[in-house]
Chain A
Amino acid sequence: METLNLRREVRQFLEDELSTGSFRPRCNAWLEGFDPVFSRKLGEHKWLGMTWPKKYGGGERSGLERFTVLEELLAAGAPVAAHWMAERQTGPALLRFGSEQQRQRFLPDIAKGECHFSIGMSEPDSGSDLASVRTVAESTSGGWLVSGTKVWTSHASRTQFMMTLCRTSKNPDDRHQGLSQIIVDLRSPGVEVRPIASMGGSSHFAEVILDSVFARDEMLLGTEGSGWEQVNAELAYERSGPERFLSTFPLLNAMEKTLQDLEDDYERVRLGSLIASLWTLRTMSKGIARQLEIGANPRVDATMVKDLGTMFENDVVDLAGQLTSGSLTAGAPNEFEQFYAQSVIASPGFTLRGGTTEILRNIIAKELEQ
């Protein structure tokens, strides 16, 4: 119950924000709700980088406390996309592999909600087969010259930095060992960002073309050639969080309210079954947060949560789809239909981002066989 007061504080904050109209709840908000002003407010409340050391702007609070804040924000459909990747992924990576200088430079600003990162992994020819990336970084005086193309890089036109997975070895047999992670300043000369329009009308996706972009030596994360291990270490954080099953929570909540007045039995049975799945996922995800805190690396469990979680998100959309009648528009008059429209159009992405279902199941099967 140590999180009870914190939960109340976050709920009060969200209620206040809603009443002043500072945001409109939406589904998939951790990817599509980009709002730097909102992120800064969370920073002011010390709700970003909560588990990090105080000397880097963190709060030295528990993983469970951070989990509480995350799930409250997600359940409310709050716009948390601006800081999401930096807080979830870049921060822990810097703490684990970064130099002292890098930590001091980036972590306090990430915790303030002012420094935003994109994740530069996928490329036009490297989707699930991440080790095939071709972006190269060539050593030059005082740093690196990075060239290549990254794609599906969310919000690259609005973030300052991109954690870039690239090849630092020219040996073609060095598939895994030749990879490194370099922080690229997206305002550097040679960077071109082209937004990619999604079918739902949003344009968080971007293509980032790097043409001999200079990054100083100290922008290399960890050690040269360790990019593959470093990227894999992030995965437990990336895959097990509550965003993997709460993307459609505003829709589920609206559906629950809608169904309260309905005596239709089938829908209420299905709703109960979805709630059971959600409670199960939350139990699993919290268990992983606890394990991460004691230094374990629950890779398989995290992968399972992502697969089960995204299936659940789609189940929510499916039931909502069965209940929807009439013309479907993004500007639907009631919340339920708005959330449904947002979710259904975003739903193909649920089981693609952060590792496709098929890749996840390969990983799970391999680990289970051992």
Chain B
Amino acid sequence: MTEEQDLLSATTRDILTVPNTSDSQVDAMWPSTTWTALDRAGLTSVGFADPRGGSGGTLGDVATLVFEVGRSHSKVPLPETVMFSSWLSAEANWAWSGGAETVCIADGDELEIRRIGERLYLNGSVASVPWARAAERVTLVANVDGDTTLIALKPEEFKVQFGENLAGEPRDTLILESILGPQRCHRSEMDIELVRLRGALMRAVASVGAMCAIFELTSKFVNQREQFGRPIEKFQAVQHLLARLGEEVSASTSCVSAAVGAVERGTGTFEAMCAIVKASQSATLISRIAHQVHGAIGTTTEYPLHLFTRRLWCWKSEYGSEAMWGRAISNHVRNQSDDASLWSVLTDNG
């Protein structure tokens, strides 16, 4: 991390650890106190280019924020707002909306998109949109007649049906019927799969944050919990579980941070896919081990472990399954030119 990122991380952490991030329904609607604090610190527009009303910053800066949200189990739409910000700024030259944002890939059958001259007609629904209820702008990424198209929606243009994922995070359904002018639709050269890749990588970043938190919780627990007259960390069986947990946290931390660096340098497709799969594997193992070590208390709402494990289970699939990305890695290697081997793909970028 750069010095600036250390500062970003500390600032975000301070705001997010203020105890107003409980799991209650009221806060789930809109965590206004936290959001205002983040906004005042300029964190809600990180990644949006400076001349376009944002705070500026690299993908690494964005990842720093997303990691902190994962580590603190905050229920706040900061990741959604910033995770595509640098891409939207550069690709569509879009300014920050001034509030929370969310981006979703609309490739389901429930939404009809038709071109009427220069305008777009949209009719139907889009499910599982993170934080649509709070967004100043919802960006739909869709394939319209073969072109990747970014469609900017204002809150008055859709209805929201509240929903949530297994971790209790807002995942709403948008219901819309509108006709949008050309200034709201941007045709892009970018492959939709790259948008999915960015989304999955950012969820991996958040997951690493949650993994670190789980590790902290678990190490504290094995030290305090006594059975048979001693802390359970004295038992070799428990020590080995802790070691495996630490290994997975370390592996995912390394590969996700290397992948973010590679994407930032513009070469990271293969690296990002690898990091997504590895973080997904780790998420499964870490949740399983942490719950095993904690025993029954870890499965209750009164103990905080579930705030992280439920998120890990949700985040690993939101932008494509582990199997899909695994297959994509195999295909990526197969699609190389004839003289390129698996080994050269692995070592191409140093």
Contacts and interface: CB of A to CB of B under 8 A. Distances in A.
Whether both chains belong to one complex is answered with yes
Nearest to A284: B254
Interface residues of B, number: 43
Contact of B233 (A256, A272, A276, A369): A369
B258 A283 contact: yes
Residue of B247, B325, B329 ringed by the most chain A CB atoms within 10 A:
B247
Contacts of A284: 250-251, 254-255
Interface stretch (B46-54, B151-159, B274-282): B274-282
Contacts of A275: 274, 329-330, 333, 342, 346
B219 A368 contact: yes
Nearest to A254: B342
A271 B246 CA distance: 25
A294 interface: no
B240 A276 contact: no
B347 A71 contact: yes
A279 B271 contact: yes
Interface residues of A, number: 44
Interface string A1-19: 1011001000000000000
Given A269-B330, A368-B219, A276 B247 contact: no
Nearest to A68: B347
Given A259-B330, A273-B322, A361-B244, A282 B346 contact: yes
Contact of B326 (A253, A272, A360, A368): A272
Contacts of A362: 236, 239-240, 243
Nearest to A282: B346
Contacts of B242: 364-365, 368-369
Contacts of B252: 280
B50 to A, nearest CB: 30
Given A272-B329, A365-B243, A279 B251 contact: no
B334 interface: yes
B346 A256 contact: no
A361 to B, nearest CB: 4
A366 B331 CA distance: 41
A364 B233 CA distance: 13
A273 B251 contact: no
A307 interface: yes
A287 interface: yes
B328 interface: yes
Interface in A242-296: 249, 252-253, 256, 259-260, 265, 268-273, 275-284, 287
A358 interface: yes
A364 B350 contact: no
B251 A308 contact: yes
A92 to B, nearest CB: 24
Interface in B111-142: none
Contact of A279 (B239, B246, B346): B346
B251 A304 contact: yes
Nearest to A265: B327
Contact of B277 (A75, A259, A276): A276
B93 interface: no
12 contacts: A253-B341, A260-B334, A268-B327, A280-B274, A281-B251, A284-B251, A284-B254, A304-B250, A308-B247, A361-B244, A362-B240, A369-B242
Q: List the 4 closest pairs (A to B, CB-CB), nearest first.
A: A272-B326, A272-B329, A365-B239, A276-B277
Given A271-B329, A272-B327, A368-B246, 19 more contacts: A253-B342, A256-B342, A268-B331, A271-B330, A272-B326, A272-B331, A275-B333, A276-B273, A276-B276, A276-B278, A279-B278, A280-B255, A280-B274, A284-B255, A287-B254, A358-B240, A364-B243, A364-B246, A369-B219
